[in-house]
Amino acid sequence: MLEVKNLHAKIDDKEILRGINLTVKPGEVHAIMGPNGSGKSTLSSVLAGSEVFDVSEGSATFYGKNLLDMPAEDRAREGLFYSFQYPVEIPGVSMVNFMRTAVNEHRKYNGEKPYTASEFLKLMREKKKLVEIDSNLTNRSVNEGFSGGEKKKNEIFQMAMLQPKVSILDETDSGLDIDALRIVANGVNKLKSENNATVVITHYQRLLDYIVPDFVHVLYKGRIVMSAGKELALELEEKGYDWIKKQFED
């Protein structure tokens, strides 16, 4: 479903991604790990459609369509979800209104009728329950005044609402205490099916105790230098990133 080949991306002539290859199939969970500055967040925002970076080489396809040609909103409507490391506040815009617009834009794109208010509210109630989000969060403005944990829960709630095919979760565990981490991870697990896939980007093995990956990739200096099963995460936890750095020093 998601096929990334030899992807290069730069910002201000500084090359950050230097040939990424990644294949994600339905039902899979991938973890991308790596030290600070290895390009993890760049990879996810390039895939999500950020125009901050220039893609200089390579390709990314999503169900056979050229992802890199699409504006960010079309990538989302095609079923790609990007959970922000730092979710953005939009004062004065209620979550309900925001999500209703988003969901109906998805439906319009797919040739479906927009939800009526009552259909939408019903859907929202179900999803809120599923991801254990407080009902008052959805009455507030988008992320405004939310705690770190609330923001991350809110990302997962949006993921539940939009029902994506591939979700890229960027450092979803950062800034979460252990209880919030469990709720967020539970949400992700409940949304998992054989038809969708998840790409988890993280520093630490901790999150992977809750969201168990099928594949672990190590990103270093803009390349995936190692891929293996979930045991790789444990090995990294034990040996640290220095182990990788030593092996792949330029």
Instruction: Give the footprint of other proteins on this chain (CB under 8 A).
Output: 48-52, 71-73, 75-77, 81-82, 84, 87-93, 97-99, 101-102, 105-106, 109, 141, 158, 162
- Chain center to CA of 53: 18
Shortest approach of other proteins to residue 139 CB, angstroms?
14
Lay out the sheet containing 54-62: strands in order across.
Answer: 14-24, 2-11, 54-62, 65-66
Ordered DSSP codes for 127-164? HHHHTT--GGGGGSEETTT--HHHHHHHHHHHHHHH--
Which residues neighbour 163 within 8 Å (Cβ) at sequence distance 6 or greater? 191, 196
Q: Which is nearer to other proteins, 109 or 248 (CB)?
A: 109
Q: Which is nearer to other proteins, 165 or 221 (CB)?
A: 165
Shortest approach of other proteins to residue 53 CB, angstroms?
11
Shortest approach of other proteins to residue 227 CB, angstroms?
26
Q: Which is nearer to other proteins, 99 or 183 (CB)?
A: 99
Shortest approach of other proteins to residue 102 CB, angstroms?
4
Shortest approach of other proteins to residue 78 CB, angstroms?
9
Q: Which is nearer to other proteins, 14 or 246 (CB)?
A: 14
C-alpha distance across the termini of the chain, in Å: 32
Which residues neighbour 246 within 8 Å (Cβ) at sequence distance 6 or greater? none
The H helix count followed by the E strand count for the chain is: 8, 12
Q: Which is nearer to other proteins, 99 or 232 (CB)?
A: 99
